[in-house]
Amino acid sequence: MLGAVALVLVAGIFFLWGNKYALDTLRITQVTPDQMLQAMNADNFYGLWRESTLLVSGTVAGISQQNGDTLIQFTSSISKAYCDIGSATTSLTVGDSIRALAEGEIAKRIPEGIMLVGCKVL
């Protein structure tokens, strides 16, 4: 019985410590599609933003479907940057200004540029 109480106490302490760590290190970084592409091309993207939530501001260059997911392409002067919003639908059109949230850690390098997975359009 004493062992179970000690285990619960230790688990509670680690839970609170983990919660504090997560909140203390929470980072939201504002970026543009070109900044992301430059960092990815320089192999610096994950070093800069692996632990950040990215707030991406840009203009819609295109909207397409791939494997049941909706992809929003940002306008860029470098290469292609996509925001994968999953199976969600959108009323956005080419030329609209958007802001999207995405986790830097799960961004993918793709042959034509970068894919932000799990984007949420604000």
Query: For all residues of the chain together, what is the average pLDDT?
Result: 87
Mind listing the domains of the chain with CATH numbers? 27-121 (2.40.50.140)
Q: Report the candidate in 92, 60, 56, 90 with the shortest Cα–Cα distance to residue 75.
A: 60
Q: What is the pLDDT of residue 39?
A: 96
* Displacement of CA 7 from its chain's centroid (Å): 36
Q: Which residue numbers in the chain have pLDDT < 50?
A: 23
Q: What is the pLDDT of residue 3?
A: 66
Q: What is the pLDDT of residue 67?
A: 92
Q: What is the pLDDT of residue 21?
A: 55
